[in-house]
Structure 1
Amino acid sequence: MDKIMNDYLEKIEKYLKSMPDSERIDIVKEIKSLMLELQNNGVAAEQIIERLGNPKELAKAYLGEAISKNSKFSWRKFGAIFAFCSSFAGVSGMLLLPFISTLSIAFMIGGIITLIGGIVKFAGYLMGYDIAGITIEMGAFTPSPMQFLPISIVIGVLMYWLGKVLWKLTIKYIHAISPKKKTV
């Protein structure tokens, strides 16, 4: 394989470093096999590189596709989103993507904590304890211990749901700003 093509593949691999090793290796192998096929058909290395385009843009397409193909939350995907927005997404991505992805996680975790707090407060009430550190205040209204559990369930579920919605919005935004992979 030509030095130009090897350099190109190294750049692709560098831009995809936030991906899991197995996915990154598969992508590099796919591009390499495409390059070899074209080279065997008599296409010059410079022409192959020209057809594939800028390695950063090609890596961006692969990374965006990998992030947006599955909307399930994972910490690895969260890290990939930050890598995507810092490397590829431009000014809007650098501001919007970290904001909505972090907010989505905060809402999901907050929803779970609210639900746990409601259960702990209610259990404490049933055992005769008032856990003062766990409260809900909505203006002048503070729920009684009997109202606390249902209110915390509603608030917790709404917060968790909002977090999931923001996560899906993050994935859709990445899919929308990702260029499509080039076909050679």
Structure 2
Amino acid sequence: MSPKTRAYLEKLYQLLQKMPEDERLDAIREIESHIAEGVANGQSEDAILARLGDPRMLAKAYRSEYMMEKGRGRSFKDVMIMAGFYCSTGLLSIMVIPVLATIAYGFGFCAVLVFLAGFIRTLGIGATWIQMSLGPGMEVPTEWSMVFSTIVGGIIGGIAYVSWRGLRLYMSFLSASYKKVLPGSRAM
């Protein structure tokens, strides 16, 4: 293995520092194997490295693949880690991901609060502080609080769900874009 290839692999290893050690080593072994296979087929190491491209982009692709695999459970923490990673990948992502995430989680939380407020107001558990109105001077009667809060909460929850789906689709799109950079996903 040439010094240039060794330097490339060391740079890639450094750029993968946020991944677990076993995942980092798997990525390095995969690239080493790819290079060895190319050399065995008569290609030069320089040509193979040129096709692999910038190690930064390759590292982002591996980290993206790891994030998508790790985030299969899609816990709140996993989604926030993925959103943070993808926000660091481009200018459009810096704007799109935080907006969609804020709408999804903010509206989702508000939908639950609206439903609970309607429930509490309907039961009349000292809930004189909960006001529901259709406009100025058009107060919702207490007995209709649950129906009103279910409709409003459903609309707000629908907006949250659409934003959540949009966020997941956007991050899946980014992941698929990065996956194309990986050696096994394209013809060499």
Q: Scaled by the length of structure 2, what TM-score is found?
A: 0.73
Q: Check conservation: 2:12, 2:59, Cα contact below 8 A.
A: no
Counterpart mapping for 1:47-126 below 5 A: 48-65=48-65, 66-67=67-68, 70=72, 72=74, 74-85=76-87, 87-90=88-91, 92-123=92-123, 125=124
Counterpart CA distance in 1 for 2:38 and 2:146 is: 71
Counterpart CA distance in 2 for 1:76 and 1:62 is: 17
* Cα distance change, pair 25–110 in 1 and its aligned pair in 2 (3 A): farther
Deviation, 1:56, is 2.9
Counterpart CA distance in 1 for 2:83 and 2:56 is: 16
2:12 corresponds, among 8, 12, 19, to: 8
Segments of 5+ residues of structure 2 without an aligned counterpart are none
1:137 matched residue in structure 2: 133
Deviation, 1:105, is 0.6
2:151 corresponds, among 149, 154, 174, to: 154
Counterpart CA distance in 2 for 1:57 and 1:40 is: 21
Q: Check conservation: 1:5, 1:45, Cα contact below 8 A.
A: no
Q: Check conservation: 2:107, 2:157, Cα contact below 8 A.
A: yes
Residue 36 (structure 1) aligned with residue 32 (structure 2):
yes
Segments of 5+ residues of structure 1 without an aligned counterpart are none
3-state SS of 2:181 partner: coil
Counterpart CA distance in 2 for 1:67 and 1:97 is: 15
- Cα RMSD over matched residues? 3.0
3-state SS of 1:132 partner: coil
AA aligned to 1:88 is T
Counterpart CA distance in 1 for 2:99 and 2:160 is: 12
Deviation, 1:164, is 1.6
1:165 matched residue in structure 2: 162
Counterpart CA distance in 2 for 1:42 and 1:71 is: 36
| Residues 107-149 of structure 1: per-residue CA shift (max 9 Å, x gap) | 11111111111112222x2x5x3x1322222213221110111
Deviation, 1:62, is 4.0
Larger radius of gyration: 2
Counterpart CA distance in 2 for 1:102 and 1:63 is: 24
Counterpart CA distance in 2 for 1:174 and 1:49 is: 28
